[in-house]
Amino acid sequence: MALFRKAAPSAPTPIDGVDCLYLDLDGVVYKGPDAIPHAVDSINGAGVRPVYLTNNASRTDAEVAEHLASFGLQLTPDDVVTSPQAAMRLLAQHLEPGDRVLVVGGAGIVVEVEARGWQVVRTAAEQPKAVVQGFHPSVGWQELAEASFALHTGIPWVATNGDWTIPVAGGIAPGNGTLVSAVHTAVGRLAEFAGKPERHMYDVATERFAAAAPAMVGDRLDTDILGARRAGIRSIMVLTGVDRGAHLIGADETMRPDHIIEDLRGLTEPIAPLRETLERSTGDTYFEVGTAAVRRSGIDITLVRAGARPVDTIRAACAAVWTADRPVLGLRIADQLLAL
- Comparison of 110 and 205: residue with beta carbon closer to Mg ion: 205
Query: Is residue 134 within the footprint of Mg ion (CB under 5 A)?
Result: no
- Comparison of 25 and 292: residue with beta carbon closer to Mg ion: 25
Kindly state the smallest distance separating residue 238's Cβ from Mg ion, in Å: 9
Query: What type of residue sits at position 173?
Result: A
- Comparison of 26 and 143: residue with beta carbon closer to Mg ion: 26
Query: Is residue 26 within the footprint of Mg ion (CB under 5 A)?
Result: yes
Q: How many whole angstroms separate alpha carbon 221 and alpha carbon 34?
A: 22
Positions annotated as catalytic residues are 24, 26
User: 20, 23, 27, 266: which one contacts Mg ion (CB under 5 A)?
Assistant: 27
How far, rounded to the nearest angstrom, does the alpha carbon of residue 118 sit from its chain's CA centroid?
A: 29
Kindly state the smallest distance separating residue 24's Cβ from Mg ion, in Å: 4
Kindly state the smallest distance separating residue 249's Cβ from Mg ion, in Å: 19
- Comparison of 146 and 219: residue with beta carbon closer to Mg ion: 219
Span interacting with Mg ion, options 3-11, 107-115, 151-159, 214-222, rule CB under 5 A: 214-222
Query: Is residue 106 within the footprint of Mg ion (CB under 5 A)?
Result: no
CA distances to 16, 38, 259, 280, 289 from 270, in Å: 10, 17, 11, 31, 13
Q: How many C-alpha atoms does 146 have within 13 Å on its Cβ side?
A: 21
Query: Is residue 219 within the footprint of Mg ion (CB under 5 A)?
Result: yes
How far, rounded to the nearest angstrom, does the alpha carbon of residue 151 sit from its chain's CA centroid?
A: 29
Picking from 224, 177, 204, the residue whose alpha carbon sits closest to that of residue 85 is 204
Footprint (CB under 5 A) of Mg ion, residues 254-313? none
User: 15, 22, 23, 24: which one contacts Mg ion (CB under 5 A)?
Assistant: 24
- Comparison of 56 and 302: residue with beta carbon closer to Mg ion: 56
Q: How many whole angstroms separate alpha carbon 182 and alpha carbon 141?
A: 10
Q: Between 162 and 201, how does the x/- string for binding to Mg ion read (CB under 5 A)?
A: ----------------------------------------
Indicate the helix (H) or strand (E) that contains 141.
helix 141-151
For residue 224, the 8-state DSSP code is I
Peptide bond into 9 cis (omega under 30): no
Q: Contact 202/231 with Cβ under 8 angstroms? A: yes
Give residues in contact with Mg ion (CB under 5 A): 24, 26-27, 219
